[in-house]
Amino acid sequence: MKKLMLSAIAFSMFALLAFSSIATKLISSKTSVKFFSTTPAEDIEANNYKTVSTIDTSTGDVVFSLPMQSFEFEKALMQKHFNSTDFLDTKKYPKAKFVGKITNLNNINFEKDGTYKVTVDGELTIKDIAKQQIIDGTIVVNGKIIEVTSKFKITLADHGIAFKNGKPSTNIAKTVEVTLVAEYPEQ
């Protein structure tokens, strides 16, 4: 009987642990990723609303997975250039990914309403080329919803996005600005 009790306690402890480890993971599929390139010739903007992200509030692990063909441009021709083998080669590399860790996790209370500055140190992989990125952002905890926003720059050459020649090479900036918003409902 005692043995049974013990195993029952052990089991419930395990169940509790398993449950709590699931509960610390925030998942967002309501996201907005915008990139903006500006040159004297042209401003170019593209939007992606199909990115998926997770934040593990206990370990600080942050992941973003971006379906590259979901970037929408105003001009169809720009969208074709973007997807083509000369640029992002989205048929071969359909997803870009960011995997990082929150470096100031102690300063963030995901359970308490408020606005928190966050720094994430990680690797951004575009076209299979990983590059370290330290990204600053803001986390707003508001009741049942946690919202993350950030703005940072990407140097295209870091990911092997080179412009040999032709019009697009002069019309696209060497670094582009990325604006990110992600909304995580509390699990």
* Minimal distance, residue 54 CB to another protein, in Å: 5
Q: Take residue 108 and report the two structure tokens written for it.
A: 């963030």
Of 9-17, 43-51, 108-116, 151-159, which part binds another protein (CB under 8 A)? 43-51
Encoded tokens for 109: 């209370």
List, as one string, the DSSP characters of the chain: -HHHHHHHHHHHHHHHHHHHHHHTEEEE-EEEEEEEEE-SS-EEEEEE---EEEEETTT-EEEEEEEGGG-EESSHHHHHHHHSTTTT-TTT--EEEEEEEETTGGG--TTS-EEEEEEEEEEEEETTEEEEEEEEEEEEEETTEEEEEEEEEEEGGGGT----SSHHHHHS-SEEEEEEEEEEE--
- Binding another protein by CB under 8 A: which of 7, 20, 29, 142? 29
37 binds another protein (CB under 8 A): no
Q: Taking the complex as a whole, how short is the minimal distance between the CB of residue 6 and another protein, in angstroms?
A: 31
Q: Is 52 in the site for another protein (CB under 8 A)?
A: yes
Please list every residue from 115 through 134 that binds another protein, using CB under 8 A. Answer: none
Site residues (CB under 8 A) for another protein, limited to 58-117: 63, 65, 67-70, 75-77, 79-80, 82-85, 89-91, 94-95, 97, 99
CB of 127 to another protein, least distance (A): 14
- Token look-up 């090479």 returns 169
Closer to another protein by Cβ: residue 70 or 103: 70
C-beta closer to another protein: residue 70 or 119: 70
Query: Minimum Å distance from CB 109 to another protein?
Result: 23
The set of residues, in sequence order, having a beta carbon less than 8 Å from that of 77 and lying 6+ positions away, is: none
Chain residues in the site for another protein (CB under 8 A): 25, 27, 29-32, 47, 49-50, 52, 54, 63, 65, 67-70, 75-77, 79-80, 82-85, 89-91, 94-95, 97, 99, 181, 183
